Structure 1
Amino acid sequence: MSECPAAPPAGETLDPTSGSAGRARLTAVSSLGGPPGRAGEGSQGLAPAAPLMRSQTRSFDGCGGLSRLDKDDDPDRGAGLYEAVVFQDTSQLTELGWLERVEMIARLEARLAGLKAEAVTGFDDEMHGVSADLGHRHPEPGDRQAAPGERRWHGGELRSVSDEIGLALNLHRSAATRRIHSSWELVHNFPATQHALIEGVLTERAAFTLVAELSVLSNLDDLRAAEAAVLDWARRHPLQGIKQFARAEAARRDPAATDKAHDRAHNERSVRMVSTDFGTAELIHTQDAVDAAAVMTSLSRAAIRSRRNGDPRSLDQLRADIALARLLPRSRHTPTPSSSSTATPSTRTPTAPASPTTAPARTRPSAPTPSPAPTGPAPASAPTPSPAPTGPAPASAPTSAPAPAPAPAPAPAPAPAPAPAPALAPPPAPAFDAGDEDGCEWTETETGADAVIVIHASGAELAALLTGQVGTGGQVEAHGPIPQGSLRKHLVKAISRTMLPDLPHADAPYAGTPGSRIELRVTDQEPPGDPNRYTPSAATDRYVRWRDQVCQFPGCNRPAEYTDLDHRVAFAAGGRTTAANLHCLCRHHHRLKHEGNWQIHHNPDGTYSWTSPTGRRYRGPDEPHKATDP
């Protein structure tokens, strides 16, 4: 991602014995007959080492033998193994040789992961300064030192360690912050674990798992003892069980550690979307395990009931569709007599004659017998509903319901139930039971913001869609490209719900009247505006947000709806208020541009690059949607 190759000057030779043993081996590839100039590209201060010649690697052909170079406490830190792997002739390897090669590459990855954690921590330590996340814009006397990964004031500039590490590792800023924190913990608080990682005893995942599970121990002696016990276990067992063993070890030494770890994990609960393939995405909801299990059980019950009623979809498809219908906001929908007569007889008919005082068949032991009115459909005796009852009741009208009241007086034991009972609506179910089994009665009003899905498409793409030509699709905000078939489906859905609101929608059988709206925006025509005015017009503001969709800092995906509009070339420096000179920046990266010495450069191909305070250049995002011929 970086555009700043920093190859050492031609002809410069460094002493093979200088520096540490590990560094003395990393740039020896160019001396072994590899591509010239590649060894030192993008690196500084790395010394070449005495090479392992290619002829020596022939002894590792055939059945392998690479494991002989994987030594404990190797002073070269795996440099000899790396060279042997790079120059091994794989044309004659047997299955044993290939398997050994895979294992040795994994050991090298572990060694590099340990060195990477060391480098990440070294950069964070080098960028020392006071925290910039204390609620005031500029540093003040008495401010504390910045925590690992935190924004800070360094050399009079606002610096974001997580942004610079994230761009170097191709990580989002939040993921880079977590990586910095875990690397700092590994290097400073778990030196034995870091040594085991560099030696290839642990994998990167196992090492960071150990750090995460044992970092809840506050006593240093307990921490060191637990770390030694887990590392000893790791040398004798498969690493797949290291998480459970480390967690048990922490709980044994500090019984409160489990609660502390649970609270920490619960405080990090979130909902996030991860784009996948072909116009789909994963919605990841991190929640308490018991609550998540309850949600999964509820979805499975509803899916199984639908399958029993003849729904052809698989259980996974049903769970996904039911969850989507429950999450999207819905307006109140009262079933009509025709719809209730076809949807409810096999699912909501009580198994025993119901009366106003009879509890539902499925109730929690701790739940009170009378359920409150707002949790389910209104009772038949309520004055607000329409005169027509929910179920088919041609024999008894609602106005005659009070008449049978004196009838129970002669009969002290109400053993025989009245015949008109099936004509009444079933008693309201408890809140936890709503939609648990059939998913056909989710008609309660949902609170929350209206869900708006925005699809960006060019005029050429819409023309291809309307004329039946094959073309590209569009762009969904916060997701990315979708194929033409998906654009057609959602365009038809938006038009039908806007112009034909009473048309039943087969795509939402569980949601009644869905509360989500789909907007289609054509974003390849710039509106007119006044370039000599500092504040953009409403049309220009809207167009730039539609065009950019997200913050334009490299790697940031903050939606444009929550960003600031910034002049690429400052208005005071001659920049004009045009769509070409405006872009969206989230507040964090807007401050970083003006107070952190980040520079923007226009590239010949129309894109932009950002230069960090360290001088490294990173390419910004391409224009999210360009008009293309179908």
Structure 2
Amino acid sequence: MESIRIDETSPIHADAVQEDFDAEFDAMVASWSAERWLFENGESNEAQECIDALLEARAIKASAEAREQQCLARLEALALESAEAEAPSAHGDSREIAWRSMAAEIAVATRMSDRTVQAMMGRATALVHTLPSVLDALGADRISFGHARVILEHAVGIEPAALDEYQRITLERAEETTPGRLAATAKIAAARLRAESFEERHARAREGRKVTIRDLDGGMSELVQVLPTVYAAAVFDRLTRQAKAVAATGDPRTRDQLRADLAMDLLLTGEPACGEDAPHTPASGIRAEVAILIPAFTLLGESDEPATLLGRGPIDLDTACRLASQAPELVRVLTDPVTGMVINADNYRPTSSLRRYLEQRDRHCGFPVCNRDARYTDIDHTIPWEHGGRTVPGNLACLCRGHHTLKHHGGWTVKQTSPGILEWTSPLGRVVSDAAPPGPRFEPEPPPDPALSSARSIDDLHDADSPAPF
């Protein structure tokens, strides 16, 4: 469906825009085939027809959302244009008053708060005037509004001359992945294209670190800590490892409950709670583990490409180098400086090193719309071990627990078209492939280590959180 544009030089009235939209929407809905909803005979595949109808509805929704952005941007422009023709108000800047008045007008018409409408107008204006290709892609149903918001969020600070390249990079990724996964690409692209270096932006952002509290219902509160990404990821990783250790003792609490309780204990007492029953004792002494990718040319001072916290995004080079200097173990990963293809990886062994290799290759769960960090997934044989599948990288992939179960019991079939790239076929016959994650790409399967073939079970590659092989 083509996106709908508004001629900004012509007058426009909010009621007329709404009436035109309502008429067009009604016409599109009326054009749907009645058979799609009737399912009169048993030979039709009702589930597939419902999915097709859902996709049609989403296409209409995407076009409508693009139209909404154009209307909001034009209404903001009209408010500012009207202020230009008037003398400054005695109550303050006339532009500010006109803008707030228009926001209130829209808020009343849409039954939203004026603060929400103000944010919507600002976002719409930025999208219409600075990211037109993103708006076109939204109107054409190539991306969702969630994708558009991610691209817009990370476009802040990019010079106008670099916006075309930013849109090209992010849209190419957006059309094949989820908004959650797109965020990593957008962060890295923005860090590379901004005139201000990532180091400068990080130094300024770091000054805003803080802890806040917000009251919730039921006698609960939300404690939020804003701190550098590398430390936030390390804190969460340590809490997760401690929670797994506690859960292994038979503690009935959920993983989220354990993380929350352990964080509280550590902040209040400096160590996990210990006592007569001491369910936290197995968690003491666990250290956080994070993976940091530092480009070799950056270390040599020949590139300003930022270091990357695996699965999160760019971090400042000083922190990356300091942590690398203190790391008990380093894994050297050689990549082609032009293509990004991984040429070689050290310490290739069948257990922890193989898992580390797979985590850095896959980055996240191999299901096309899952963004679960690969460090917290199971290692799955694409061709099951009991059916002759080998324990080698070309037959292994990272799957979260839910999608691991779905593969074996949900009617889905999977094949690995190339190392780390999974092609899934749904019970309804829909075929979809997981896109390769941004960053280093791994060459075809390295020569197998004879030790790998001696593994008797996939359990050899799992941590304590992994299930028995299916």
If you compute each CA radius of gyration, which structure gives the higher value, 1 or 2? Answer: 1
Does TM, scored on the shorter chain, surpass 0.5? no
- Band the TM-score falls in, shorter-chain normalisation: 0.3 to 0.5
Q: Whose helix fraction is larger, Structure 1's or Structure 2's?
A: 2
TM-score, normalised on structure 2?
A: 0.42
TM-score, normalised on structure 1?
A: 0.33
